Amino acid sequence: MAILDDHEPSRAALRGAIAAAGGEVAGEASRCADADALIKRAIPDVAIFAVGLPDGDGIEAAAHVSATTDCPVVLFTSRTGDDFVERARKAGVMAYLLKPLRPAELAPALDVAIARFKEARQLRQTLEGRKVIERAKGSLMARFGLTEEDAFRRLRRAAMDSRKPMVEIAKALLVSESVTRDVPAE
């Protein structure tokens, strides 16, 4: 775990609860400016961010970490307003811990955050894969005058014949087309 909080008693409470739950704190910081370096250095399973930090907003730091790293963020705050929670949700925060910390709530909140983060990552990868497949189908349709169904069958058949996921076949098709498109005809 990584902790971003400027309040030493809060960090101490988190360290104690994490240790009691069988976890380990890989790094700590007290300023938003140190959030990126903390995550890169510690490579934590979860980052726990306070909100009110001396040099900025922990929610903004959480949004940046959520967008640029592969680490779920949990907020640790006493603020509970609907607009505040909505900002946290939009920032990609995976769970919410209220101050003062109740140690029994820590492990379940972290488990939920990790599970939600993995689900969200899997959904993003699935969506990205579908977009690649759709582009490859469109390319086949345009190149060979196929229907959408026929283009999909060709991709599926190629995937089955090569025993590779359809998304890999679609990516290979798109790469090969980009290579042949860039080569001038002689």
Instruction: Write down the pLDDT at residue 182.
Output: 61
Q: Specify the DSSP element, H or E, that contains 8.
A: helix 8-20
Task: Write out pLDDT tens, residues 150-183.
Answer: 999 999 999 999 999 999 999 999 999 887 776 5
Task: Write out pLDDT tens, residues 118-132.
Answer: 999 999 999 999 999
Which residues are registered as beta bridge partners of 29?
A: 4
What does CATH list as the number for 2-101? 3.40.50.2300
Instruction: Write down the pLDDT at residue 185.
Output: 57
Task: Write out pLDDT tens, residues 5-40.
Answer: 999 999 999 999 999 999 999 999 999 999 999 999
- Segments of the chain assigned to CATH 1.10.10.10: 122-182
Mean pLDDT score, 45-50: 95
**Domain range 122-182, its CATH number among 3.40.640.10, 1.10.10.10, 3.30.1490.20, 1.20.120.140:** 1.10.10.10
- Segments of the chain assigned to CATH 3.40.50.2300: 2-101
Contacts of the segment 27-30: beta carbons below 8 A, 24+ positions apart: 27/2, 27/3, 28/2, 28/3, 28/4, 29/2, 29/3, 29/4, 30/4, 30/5, 30/6, 30/54
At residue 145, the 3 state secondary structure works out as coil
Q: How far apart are CA 55 and CA 33, in angstroms?
A: 7
Q: Specify the DSSP element, H or E, that contains 29.
A: strand 27-29
At residue 95, the 3 state secondary structure works out as strand
For residue 3, what are the contacts with CB-CB under 8 A and spacing of at least 6?
11, 14, 15, 25, 27, 28, 29, 47, 48
